[in-house]
Every structure is written in C-alpha cells, then in structure tokens.
Structure 1
Amino acid sequence: SMVQAELLVLAAAAAAAVALIQHRGSYSASALAPGRTLRNGLRLVGAAPLALSTRSLAAATSSNTCDAMALTNVKRVPEDRLYVSEPNPAWFGNGANAVNDKNWSNGNWLKSRFHFSFAEYSSYHNQNFGVLRVMNDDLVQPARGFGAHPHRDMEIVTYVVEGELTHQDSMGTKETLGAGSIQFMTAGRGVRHSEHNLNKEKPLRFIQTWITPRARGLPPNYGSMCGDDVAENRQNAWAHLLSDNQNTAANTPVEIAQDANMYATELEEGVSLQVPVGPGRQGYMLCIDGAIAVSHADADGNPVELVRHDAAEIMGDENLPLKITAGPDGAHVILFEMANNGAGGRTDF
C-alpha cells in the first residue's frame, strides 16, 4: 500500500542517518587561542577550556540539531585503534631481548604505536592527517635502539617523553636529550642517523612525527632544544615549540619548511586550556599521559575523556570553541596544528 511504501522510505532514511553517524564517529570543535607573552623564547597560548566530545549512538540520535552538528568537528582515536609494532631486535642492529631484566618495562626491545600507516602497517583508510604523515609513540628498552638508517624529503620532529635519547647523524651531530626535549631534522636531499637509548637502567619513550615539507630536495638540517629550557613554560599553558620557517611572527625553538605548529603542555588537576585550532585549520592531539576531559568551551554537555595514548582529530570552527580539562592525575598533551587541506583523517571507523 501507499502507507507501507512511505514507511519503508522513512525506515531506509533513518538507517542511512544512523550509518552516517557511525561512519563519521564522534566530533566537536575548537577556536583559535589568543597569544600570550613570550617567556624564554616560547609563545604561550592563553588558558581557556578546550574539550573533545564523543557520544554514544543513542545519545547522538536523541540530541537536538545543534548537538548533532558538534559531532563533525572532533574525532576521538582511542588507543585500541592504533597499530602496535614489536619488531625483531636484529632488524635494527640489536642483540636478543633481555630475559627477566628488572630494568625492562616490556618484553620486546621496542613497542611502537603507529597512528598512521608505517612500516609493516599499511591501511588505505589511515594514510595521514593533513601534512602529518607519521606519528609513532615509541618505547625503547635500556641499551637498545635504531641503527643508522636513511631518510629524505621529510621534516622529522621528535619529542622526548621520558628517558634519554642519543642521536647521531651524517651531518656530524651527536647529542643526548632528556625528557621534554625536542629535536628536528630536515631530511631533504638525504641524511642518515641513528637513535639509541644508551641508558642501561631506564626505558626511553619518545613521540616521533614526520611532516611532509612544502618542497623536495631541501638542504639537510638539524636542531634541538633541551627540555629543561622549557619545563616551566609548558606548566598549565601551551608552549609553542614548532612553527613554519616562513612565519616571521612566530618565535619558536624549532622551525620547519611547512605551515604547521606544535604545542605541548603539562596540566595539573582541573586546569583547562583552549586548543589553538582556528577556522580553516586542523589539529591532531595526543594525550601522552594522564587524562583530559574534552568538551565545548561555552556550552554544557557530557565531556569525553581521552586517556594515555588516546588521540583526537580536530577541525577548527570559530563557532564551536573547545577546551581540555585535566583529570585527577593531571595530563601531558601535545598538539600538531596545520592548514586544513582536505587530506587525510581516518575513514576506517
């Protein structure tokens, strides 16, 4: 009958709407944070609440139109959606894994969490996020590391979370960096380097990212900054660590050949910050340690928690500012911000 036909059409439309919600995941938005005074050469971004928000399918289908729109701006990437790699130690010039060593926190010499396709992990649905091509969260056990290997045509940025990272490269650089330190390498026309944890008692954890440069064949370059120099600056505020080398208004210790920024913060319990992702921009945020509640900066709602190893894709929207608020044990967070070029973002969930 005509009534039955109309009911079938309505049912199909409802099913399509549910499928769309499931496909797009959970999102919210962010606003551009105002700059604050410079301290020790770093630009701090003002403290104001930013939050990431995810909702259950039931909540999404019952929310009003305004709430439903908010889901299109932030997508949570939980730890269990990251690819975990634990490669053979011999592949990188290491001896056999230690057995019953009290100083080892993991059975394999390396445990790496890949945020995007890398090495043995290849997914058409997870290639990159804008110009951010690689983000690996690496845990390296004592007296182990990566032997000399080549790179080219990438801006490689490494942030040390804990332990000590010893770097050596074909440009003649050799140094050891501690927690909170940042290093960068313009691979350009080609460079070889090695990365090791030479400490025999403590593991090393670092976040390494590869950013696609605006041009190929650049002269190789290296730079770094000791974490002690910015420890105070990232306490309860965003420390601006990386910027575009063509941005004369920025004042950061790291400059790369791409329109991108990196921020880091360590928050005490209950402290809130606005995320510096404005209109036409996008950001990829990683909760390194602790937990953050992500919510709308100017509206009530049920915030969603990001915990250790969780990440989020953020699309800037001046009408939907966000805030993050640290949980009971505080939080350590980094953010990569870049132009929204319409490329990337996970499509597998």
Structure 2
Amino acid sequence: MDQSKIDAKALREALTHQARAIGFDCARVTDPGAIAQAGKYFLEFLQTGGHGDMDWLAANPERRSDPRTLWPGVRSVIMLGVNYGPDEDPLEILQQRTRGAISVYAQGDDYHDVIKKRLKALARWLAATASCEVKVFVDTAAVMEKPLAQAAGLGWQGKHTNLVSREFGSWLFLGAIFTDADLPRDEADVDHCGSCQACLDICPTSAFPAPYKLDARRCISYLTIENKGPIPREFRQAIGNRIYGCDDCLAVCPWNKFAKAGHEAKLSPRQELRAPGLAELARLDDATFRKLFAKSPVKRIGRDRFIRNVLIAIGNSNDPSLATEAECLLADASPLVRGAAVWALSQLLERAAFKTLASRTVASESDTTVQMEWDAAHLSA
C-alpha cells in the first residue's frame, strides 16, 4: 500500500482528535473546487438585490465560489464546527414583552474572536505536524462557509439557508482552515429537509420568497444589525421585542431535537444578556453600552443602532410605563434614536397624550428624518 496514503489517513485521524481537544465539535475535509454550483446561486441572490446594503457581499463575488481564487496553492479545505445550541427554548422570551430578545449566538463573547483562537491553534498544530502551509477564516473573508461545510459533510443548507446538522441541528458556528496538504476527503452531506417548511412558516417578516432563498432586506437579523438607518415601518410590529437578531427559523428546526449536547468548550451565554429589561437598556449611554457589551458582537452595531432596536421593542411592549423611557430619548443626540422614540411613543400613548407631546416637541426638531416620523405617526393616528 502507498505509504503516503497511510500517512495522510493517519494525519486525518489525528486532525479530528486534535480539533476535538481544542474545542471543535466536528471537523471534515473537502476539495477546494467542490462548490462551483454555489457560485451560481450566490450571483442570483445578488442580482435580485436580496443582500440589501451589505455591499461587501457584492464585492468580487467570483472570489467566493472558488477558494483557489483566494489562495491558488490550497489543496484541502478543513471545515470545523462549534455547537452553540441553547439550553432552553430561545422563543420563550418573545412572550416577555418588556424584555429584549438577543439572538443566541450574541449572548456570549464574540464567536469570531473565540473561534479564530481555536482555528489558529489547530492550524499551528497542522503546520508543525505536516510541514504544510495554512490559512484560517471565520466569517471574515470571501469564503462560502455553508456550501463548503455541506461539501465536507458537516450538514446541509436548509430551506432557511443556514446549515443544518443531524448532530447539532441549526446551531453550528463555522470556521475554515485552508492548507496545501493533500488530505483525504469526506463525503458531502445531502438535503434532509424533506417536505418540512417550519422555518419558512414561522418567519415574522416573510423573508423567504421561496425555499432556500432569503431576502435579507426583510430579515430581522439584517434589519436590527446590518441596517444602519431607521427600520422600515412595515416591519416594526413584526419585530416584537427582538433587539438583536432573530432565532425563529433556527429554533423551530425539527433537527434540533436530535442535537447532541456538544463539547464542554461550548460558548456560554452571559446571564445579563439572556433576557435584559428594556427600561434598563433604554438608559444606556455610549460608555455604559460599551461596558455591557464588551467582547460581544452586539458592540459592533454601536449604541445608537442598538437603542433604535430597543425603542422598537418598547413600542411593541404594550406597557405604557415604558413611555417615560422613550420620551427621555426624544432629546437624544442621535436622530436615529429620536425617530425610533417617536414611533415607540405613538404606539404606547393615548392619541390625545401623543398629540399634546407632539405639539410641544415637533417645533424644536431640526432633523428631516425625525420630522417624517412625527408626520407618519400623526397620519396613522
């Protein structure tokens, strides 16, 4: 038998063992040329404008469909997963209207930082063991992680466009190591969704025009995170108390019930981010926002966008006592915050009280976008 094949097989087995020891729940290998078809679907997604304002997705799209355009020397792509499945139903908080729902993935430290450290540790081990070159990626470059993960056998892209695993359901963080080592390939996974479309049916904003197709412009994760401006009025009530991201399509996936508990190095949520009170969040200034969300992915959107989201949730709370918090923010330095405060108050106050408030506030408002919020609120009264 070819000694090089024995060595490659032994290296592959050692890689799996080492990945587990470092904190990965699964590790598979695929060929860098395995996702050519994914590039076609990605271009269709861009052509429909489904990426919204995420211009970075549209930059050099051809680079995403072939890892060899990033690194011509790559011979194997190692795809790795970390389970972040919640210990409780993440949809239960949606009934607690005075508390904010933060997406499960964002309740702990930023997964980019945590997983990159593990990727680098595994890459260093591989480079030293196999005398090879390596490069690591975790959602930070033109790498199509989900198609590569399916090609490597970690799972398949479900109808919600996210990866689904028979072992971990819809709760896997992904990372990639490119190497010039020639490693044995794993078999690609196939679609196991069948006739189920629970993830499509539950979407509050109908962000899926068809199975396996996402219109990010309607997605609550996009609206509360990537979107830099006011949240379109047509989606505000549907957002409910989701203040950062949305877990609905992930949480309802039937494959979650078969998910394993995962590695002991699983990312843990912070208790203070599980169900924070909207009143307390509305009082955050820039300094206290940064302190609360230190090392969190939430920090990246900045205080103003976050408070915008909190105010939308306050407007949906059906709790008039929260109107005091919203009214205080009518004098905020950020027009984005002031505009969201207007909408929140229009939802919480009686018509007469709202009109009285408007009569003493509108005249001093100089920002046109906030004035438009006042106008729209009056029209809908």
TM-score calculated relative to the size of structure 2? 0.23
Instruction: Considering fraction of residues, name the structure with more helix.
Output: 2
Instruction: Considering fraction of residues, name the structure with more strand.
Output: 1
Instruction: Name which one, 1 or 2, has greater alpha-carbon Rg.
Output: 2
Higher relative contact order (CA 8 A, sep 6+): 1
TM-score calculated relative to the size of structure 1? 0.24
